[in-house]
Structure 1
Amino acid sequence: MSSLAWIDFDEAERQRAQRIMALFQERETRDELGLGGIRDSIADHLFPGTSTIQTRLRYMLFIPWLFQMLEGSSAGADQLASEARALENRLANALKAGGESNGVIGRDAGADLQRLPSSVYWAGLGTWGIRLFPGSTDNLFSSMRHLQRARPRVRESEDSASEAQALQIWTPTLPARPTDLLDHTQFKLSLDEAQFIIDRLIAHQPHSLLAFLARSGSSQAECDNIWEHPHLADFPDDARTLVGHGAIFSSVMHGASLLYNLLLSRLRDRAEWIEKYEVRFAEWQSSLDMAGIRAWSLDAFWAAIDHPAHSIRPAAKRFVAEWLGLLTAGNVLDGALTPAARLVQDRERRLKTSQSRFANRAVRDRWTGASGVEPLTFRWAQAKSHLRDLASAE
């Protein structure tokens, strides 16, 4: 049946495609040197279901609650999509009425909001096992009427129970929707809501660092990087190893990003930009733990970060290996004709072809002076915010 076409596709592939589509729309994930697959593999191991544009944790409950209001409707797919948008806009107003301002998606845009909260959190809802329906929101709207008709009314056998589960949209343990949700609401979780989310993480992402931190309550760390966490020694072995790899990778490759910006600044002949990146590049070099970097095993790194949702291209691995080789040999210098500069320029040219900023002056002239200049943190900021919301439940 065409209304159930989503069932015919492999769920892992569908979720991978949804994550990729979401990443294309996140400004923070712009990837000038082709390191995004590596970055996201690490982030999805440590903090699965998060993304850089998530704001507050209770949206993981708001979205199911809003979509539950549409269940039983006889409206068509387009009308359901319109009604869902209206509900999400009403939610923004209810949050503002409840005194919330920080983290309200659509606070300023109102009805003109382009990126709805449901699209921001949809993949995460599936990853955490809150959403059981395997398709997109459009798939859901197209299938809604059939799902209502097809659910077994009586569960007399294991087969009928299995069929009922397959037709569920949300996990049956979802907490009850507040009656005043669309009048005034807040981001603060109740204790039952917080425990529900922790239970979902433990059940569906048991080996993740996010589940460990949520369960253990080690959520009050205000460190900027996960490898600076005060309870790092208590992390599970695999997570602690991966965090260590992430720390070195972030440190090593930050220099390539800084050099990229410095080289472009020189081509643009912008003195203030040049000075800024020369200073930052020198500070980066002086901060490196070269003993740790020389002891770092790339083979162990690639094995540790392997993730079914991300395919890391051989060219990306070569770029990392060549940059690391130059660094350990002491050949990462900031001159325009150095091997390091040629490596960075060649990498960007191969990735962007005719849109390369090094090869296309018109594209370069539109550059605003900063591209990926901050060290990689693997979505720790978003995970930290979610853990803070869990810890603040009452």
Structure 2
Amino acid sequence: MGWTYLSREALARAKAQMDEESMGVRDEIGFLTIHQRYADRFFPGTSVLHTRARYALFVPWLFEDLAGLTGPAAVRALRERERELAGRLKDAGESQVIGGRVFPKPSSQPPSTVYWNALAVWGILRPRIDGRTISRAQAHRLLKSAGAATDDDGHPLVSFDPPFVPLLDRPDNWLGGHITLRMAAAEAAFLREHLAQLRRDGSHELSLLARLARTEAAAPSGMWGAEVSAVAGPDQAALARARQAASLAGVGRAIYDALLERVVETGDKREISTRHRDHLVAIIEEHGSIAAKLDVDALETDIGALPSRLRAVLTATKDWIASRSGNPAPLFDVYAAAEARKGPRARLALTVNGRDRRLEWSSDEHGLAGPLHYRWGQVSTLLEDLADPE
């Protein structure tokens, strides 16, 4: 059996797919673009796959423990160490263990994959000379260089920049015994110091995550409350637009599902429930007034130009909400055009492929649409870990 690390491109594709799955839906229309861009702006380095903050220390400690190994041997050793760590954390009663569900098998998405980008963005993993993120294989090679020849005083004969910044000492139980995901006070202070320096979009402005970390308080009860807005600084207006975009995307996803039910019923001549059409009424009641306020031009100022078909969906959906029609049928063409990027996987398409994809779709099993969350659940857990160390 061969061993390899995924390329940066493959990891990016996997991350996008897992972002979609974490939200309970396939991203048929493209709303995930808004989700990812605002989440990256507000909370740099975060991922929907993050569980607990202490993994940001566990991963570099594991790499440093394996200094001297490279290539397939390093990959195998790291995989085994991560598998063992999952078992120890499970034995300690932890519930947010990466790889815990498949233990004693190794995880297909171990901590070193899940947190690698975070380590780079948060300034714990040093960048390459050209500013790009070093790969895990490169980190192993750099760590092996630490054991190069030394002079009589023990100093390296070749200048060496390790892949990680100076780390805290491991806890006494690092190599054996009871270990948990709760951080020590010094560990929380170390990570908070790094998060507190995070800038947004490569600018000089502090990110919202940095501002929240600097409060040293527990996570606010919600992303849209007064506590977050009070510390958002120059991001206050963008935060308000992000809420409007989240609501508009929630309505849009409900519209897509309602249109799909309608095509199955009227086009395919199959009986189907009105579950998603009923939900559309409820989500408009809850989110319609907020969604209708979104300024799409200002949104693009926040997060960059949107794909033209996604922008068309946003503007058409806003106009439809304002019309108070309640019947999404006039939106079919613009939604079908946006979904066409899926090619033969598009379900709204009035083609043989589209009909086949609809046969695979179950209205009763498909999750009900909701607004975008921008990884707030993961950010909340991160802030809680920082605020409540041992």
Whether these two folds match at TM > 0.5 is yes
2:233 to 214, 220, 237: 237
Q: 8 Å contact 2:35–2:374 — kept in the other structure?
A: yes
Name the Cα RMSD after superposition. 3.0
**CA 1:155/1:146 → structure 2, altered by over 3 Å: closer, same or farther?**
closer
Structure 1 residue 266: Cα displacement: 3.7
Residue 209 (structure 1) aligned with residue 208 (structure 2): yes
Residue 188 (structure 1) aligned with residue 187 (structure 2): no
When structure 1 is superposed on structure 2, of 319-328 and 59-68 the one drifting more is 319-328
Q: 8 Å contact 1:198–1:214 — kept in the other structure?
A: yes
- Specify the SS of the correspondent of 2:196: helix
Q: 8 Å contact 2:149–2:156 — kept in the other structure?
A: no
- Specify the SS of the correspondent of 2:347: coil
Distance 1:25 1:286 in 2: 30
Residue 303 (structure 1) aligned with residue 294 (structure 2): no
**CA 1:209/1:314 → structure 2, altered by over 3 Å: closer, same or farther?**
same
1:355 to 328, 337, 345: 345
Q: 2:162 maps to which residue? A: 168
- CA offsets, 1:197-225, max 9 Å, x none? 111012233611111111103424333xx
Q: 2:120 maps to which residue? A: 126
- Specify the SS of the correspondent of 1:56: coil
Q: 8 Å contact 2:183–2:385 — kept in the other structure?
A: yes
Distance 1:315 1:182 in 2: 53
Distance 2:156 2:196 in 1: 28
Q: AA paired with 1:341? A: F
**CA 1:286/1:193 → structure 2, altered by over 3 Å: closer, same or farther?**
same
User: Where is the helix percentage greater, Structure 1 or Structure 2?
Assistant: 1
Distance 2:258 2:18 in 1: 26
Residue 61 (structure 1) aligned with residue 57 (structure 2): yes
Residue 339 (structure 1) aligned with residue 330 (structure 2): yes
Higher relative contact order (CA 8 A, sep 6+): 1
How many residues of Structure 1 are paired with residues of Structure 2 in the alignment? Answer: 358
Structure 1 residue 146: Cα displacement: 4.6
Structure 1 residue 244: Cα displacement: 0.5
Aligned ranges for residues 1-394 of structure 1 at < 5 Å? 18-26=11-19, 27-28=21-22, 30-71=26-67, 73=68, 75-100=69-94, 102-110=95-103, 111-133=105-127, 134-141=133-140, 144-146=143-145, 148-149=147-148, 164=160, 167-172=161-166, 174-183=167-176, 184-205=178-199, 207-223=206-222, 226-227=223-224, 229-269=225-265, 274-288=273-287, 290=289, 295-306=293-304, 312-331=306-325, 333-335=326-328, 338-348=329-339, 350-359=340-349, 360-369=354-363, 370=366, 373-394=369-390
Aligned identity (percent) is 25
Structure 1 residue 271: Cα displacement: 9.6
- Specify the SS of the correspondent of 1:231: helix
Structure 1 residue 78: Cα displacement: 0.4
Q: 8 Å contact 1:132–1:171 — kept in the other structure?
A: yes
- CA offsets, 1:125-175, max 9 Å, x none? 11101111522223434555356549998699xxx9xx64xx321111x21
- Specify the SS of the correspondent of 1:52: coil
Q: Structure 2: 5+ residue runs without aligned partners?
A: 1-6, 128-132, 200-204
- Specify the SS of the correspondent of 2:96: coil
- CA offsets, 1:270-290, max 9 Å, x none? 999733212211112223464
Structure 1 residue 387: Cα displacement: 0.8
Q: 8 Å contact 2:251–2:370 — kept in the other structure?
A: no
**CA 1:301/1:76 → structure 2, altered by over 3 Å: closer, same or farther?**
closer
Q: TM-score, normalised by structure 2?
A: 0.82
Q: Structure 1: 5+ residue runs without aligned partners?
A: 1-13
**CA 1:233/1:253 → structure 2, altered by over 3 Å: closer, same or farther?**
closer
